Amino acid sequence: MGLDVHDMEDLGEVWVGYEGQPKSTQFGLKSLRLAKPLQPGHVFTIEPGIYFIPELIDLWRSQQKFNEFINWDKVDSYRNFGGIRNEEDFVMTENGARLLGKNKPMTIGQIEAIRSEAG
């Protein structure tokens, strides 16, 4: 924990995160950085995020890339949003994964409650 071990392409990410197995080429899955079986004691971060990069939006749209997955009109409404990432740390146990730290707010109501408390 605390070591920056993602983005391992220069060290052979396929060998670090995939145990020598080929990475998926499917849209969405091809960006997974860890696909090996987790064992008790492994600590890892799950950091889902979404980023709206205007240059990439324009390029992919002009190439008609991923049309079956992307609603371009909806994406355009988020064009100036930037992005957001949610990071949570977990440890694997004999019985599954255990969250390290507090649960984060997940619903609009929970987030608005925090905003009200801070205001």
Confidence grade of residue 116 (pLDDT, cut at 50, 70, 90): confident
Q: Which one, of 85, 88, 109, lies nearest residue 117 by Cα? A: 109
**Any idea how long the chain is?**
119
Rounded average pLDDT over 114-118: 83
- Spell out the alpha helix ranges (H) of the chain: 13-17, 54-62, 72-76, 108-118
Position 6 scores a pLDDT of: 57
Q: Domain spans of the chain?
A: 49-85
Predicted TM-score of the model (pTM): 0.62
For residue 86, list its beta bridge partners: none
Q: Is the pLDDT of residue 22 over 90?
A: no
Confidence grade of residue 81 (pLDDT, cut at 50, 70, 90): very high
Residues whose CB falls within 8 Å of the CB of residue 40, separated by 6 or more in sequence, listed in order = 92, 93, 94
Position 14 scores a pLDDT of: 66
Q: Is the pLDDT of residue 77 over 70?
A: yes
pLDDT digits (tens, 9 = 90+) for 33-69: 777 788 999 888 888 888 999 999 999 999 999 999 9
